[in-house]
Chain A
Amino acid sequence: MSGDFGVWLAAIATLAVFSYLWKNNPVFTLAEHLFVALTTGHLIVTAYFNIKEMAITPLIKGSVLWIVPIVLGILLYARFWKNLALYSRMPIAFLVGVGASLSVQGQVDASLVRQVTSTILPLNNINNILVVIGTVTSVTFFFFTVKAAKGPLASIGTIGRWMLMVAFGAAYGNTVMGRMSLIIGRFGFLMRDWLGVIK
């Protein structure tokens, strides 16, 4: 068993959260509140240093333009006062405007054009044929789900739906794998680092 106080603290925190599996209880509620406090606190600290390094330090050194994002950032907090809330629209407008344009840049090339060109494959083996048919039918399913109730588009859409079911099944299988890894990690900590029953 570990003699390190930090490991014991971590083990107690772990067991406090696991206690929820039996039923909700005050120990879990305390752990939950601590988790929220520390996670939020960590985010605030890292954001503080981000702002200090990128904006405040250059501003102090003479780059006056940095006052603009600092003011916009502070205006975000105007939402907490009813009579000042409308000023918080400006930083939101800025965030959304830049965010939307960056998103367009990324999506058009990588998620649209290159995905379409990657589907243009030589139909000389079954895998390529399946990828081409699967992609075309799933896109058709998305575009014409509502409108096409019967006819050839409906049949194409049906094939697309089956492809999507297989894709979601694969996603589900991987999700189970991912989630199980998390408890393997926690139990590994309890048994290895805390109790010392495994190496």
Chain B
Amino acid sequence: MFRKEIPLTITFVSGVILVFAWLLKVPVLKQASAELVRWNVVVSAFAAGLGGANLLRIHYKRVNTRKETWVYSLILLVALVCFVTLGISTGLNGKTYRYVWTNLLTPLSATTFSLNAFWISSAAYRAFRIKTGEAAALAVAAVLVMLGRVGIGEIIYAKMPAIADWIIAVPNTAGMRGVTIGGALGAVSVCFRVVLGLERSHFGGLGE
């Protein structure tokens, strides 16, 4: 029962309440739907902790078994536990918490993401090979947009920004709208399959 019937019933009931509340505008349904949505926020907050729990489990195992990089795992565990304890005890506005967030978390995160600039340059150089007409169309659009978005492009040709804006506003809008409509149709069909219990891949192998 807990493997199939109860979970599928929960999905069906919660899904149907929300869909009917949206379609029928009945006050009792709207109230139930609003309550379920607020419960969803709380359950999602618990889910946010799953990543932390998994991280603790994996790195604790590495430290215990003295795997090759166990020292780094130990540092990770200590940092994680200390930071969480600090946050919970002093709150998000705590002076030390904000100090660590501003002077450690922010630069580490910002710099890690900024490495993408180097990877994309390298990828553009190595992988961007124009061998077909369509690839050429992609390349021309990319180069025109790249030039149109910067001052050098405006110096090369005064109307370059207008060209870039036009590419975004017209052919790009048309293409992306196709993607959006196709994606929306797919999402709606998957959603109905999920609510009706025809799609169960989200359970994975849990409890098998």
Contacts and interface: CB of A to CB of B under 8 A. Distances in A.
- A and B, one complex? yes
Interface of A: 6-7, 9-11, 13-14, 17-18, 20-21, 29-51, 54-55, 65-66, 68-70, 72-74, 76-77, 79-80, 85-105, 107-108, 111-112, 115-116, 118-119, 127, 130-135, 137-139, 141-143, 160-177, 179-180, 182-183, 185-186, 189
Contacts of A138: 174-175, 177-179, 182
Interface in B178-198: 178-185, 187-188, 190-192, 194-195
B14 A98 contact: yes
A122 to B, nearest CB: 15
B167 to A, nearest CB: 5
Given A37-B55, A38-B104, 19 more contacts: A11-B107, A13-B108, A34-B104, A38-B83, A45-B92, A48-B49, A74-B46, A86-B206, A101-B191, A104-B19, A105-B22, A112-B184, A127-B166, A137-B178, A138-B178, A163-B171, A173-B142, A173-B149, A177-B145
Contact of A166 (B88, B97, B113, B138): B138
Contact of B75 (A30, A45, A143): A30
Nearest to A111: B184
A41 B37 contact: no
Contacts, number: 403
Contact of B92 (A32, A49, A164): A49
Given A100-B191, A162-B134, A73 B46 contact: yes
B143 interface: yes
Nearest to A186: B114
A167 B172 contact: yes
B145 A179 contact: no
Interface in B70-102: 72-73, 75-77, 79-80, 83-84, 87-88, 91-92, 97, 99-102
A107 to B, nearest CB: 4
A163 B178 contact: yes
B181 to A, nearest CB: 5
Interface residues of B, number: 122
B179 A86 contact: no
Contact of A107 (B109, B137, B187): B187
11 contacts: A9-B104, A33-B79, A86-B2, A91-B47, A96-B194, A101-B14, A101-B17, A104-B191, A108-B188, A138-B179, A160-B175
B156 to A, nearest CB: 15
B51 to A, nearest CB: 6
